[in-house]
Amino acid sequence: MLTPLSRLLDSALDRSVVLGYTSIGSGVRRRLPHWPDDPAPGSMEGRRVVVTGATSGIGEAMARSFLDLGATVHLLGRNPDKVADYARQLRTEVPNADVVEEVCDIADLDAVRAWCADLSDRVPAIHGLVHNAGVMPPERTE
Ligand SMILES: NC(=O)c1ccc[n+]([C@@H]2O[C@H](COP(=O)([O-])OP(=O)(O)OC[C@H]3O[C@@H](n4cnc5c(N)ncnc54)[C@H](OP(=O)(O)O)[C@@H]3O)[C@@H](O)[C@H]2O)c1
């Protein structure tokens, strides 16, 4: 539980955007009382997580974090070369990395259905899905 003062500081960081969403925000929050510690290394051993949009940005970082915690990570991207390149990099950088390469264009719902059916045949269960793939275009279009 955050104390009222910590909650106020947390909210102020968020509202300022720049302070909350840069390394300043994580640095300050780390020092707040009752802010939870990072999970222990190995705490996700035996867990299987799918990360969509894992070839860039936030997805790339999350995939790496789950691997560092010992999870099996399914890297999903739409570009097979990018998926293969990042999987190779992770296998080189993270000891015993258990990485599964997945290719699917999530904008194609038939492809999503086919990929889900295929995944269900290949694995007994997934414990986490980070559905992060997406874009933020400057203008809304339909
Ligand atoms: N960064 C921010 O400040 C921010 C803020 C709010 C929300 N978000 C959201 O958070 C998510 C990640 O953001 P980011 O900054 O890390 O973006 P990013 O660096 O552009 O990464 C997006 C990832 O999604 C993949 N992707 C895009 N369309 C796809 C599709 N149709 N099928 C499969 N994969 C697809 C991209 O693959 P390719 O490399 O092949 O393009 C890439 O790996 C996005 O959904 C974004 O809208 C981000």
Measured distance CA(75)–CA(45) in Å, rounded: 17
74 closest CA partner among 24, 133, 11, 5: 133
Which residue did the predictor score with more confidence, 82 or 137?
Answer: 82
At 72, which helix (H) or strand (E)? strand 72-77
The minimum-distance atom of ligand 1 relative to the CA of 59 is 16
Residue 116 has pLDDT above 90, yes or no: yes
Question: What's the CATH code, domain 48-131?
Answer: 3.40.50.720
Q: For residue range 13-65, what is the model confidence (pLDDT) as tens digits?
A: 999 999 988 999 888 888 887 777 789 989 999 999 999 999 999 999 999 99
105: left (phi over 0), alpha (psi -120 to 50) or beta: beta
Q: Please give the distance, rounded to the nearest whole angstrom, from the Cα atom of residue 32 to the centre of ligand 1.
A: 30
The per-residue pLDDT for 135 is 85
Is the CB of residue 133 below 6 angstroms from any atom belonging to ligand 1?
A: yes
Interhelix angle 23-30/4-16, nearest 10 degrees: 180
Q: Which residues contact residue 20 at a Cβ distance below 8 angstroms, ignoring those fewer than 6 apart?
A: 13, 14
For the Cβ of 75 lying below 6 angstroms from any atom of ligand 1, the answer is: no
Between residues 79 and 136, which one has the greater pLDDT? 79
For the beta carbon of residue 60, count every other beta carbon within 10 angstroms. 20
Structural domain boundaries in the chain: 1-37, 48-131
> Is ligand 1 within 6 A of the CB of residue 111?
no
Quote the pLDDT of residue 5. Answer: 85
Per-chain mean pLDDT for the chain: 93
Average pLDDT over residues 98-107: 97
Task: Quote the pTM value.
Answer: 0.86
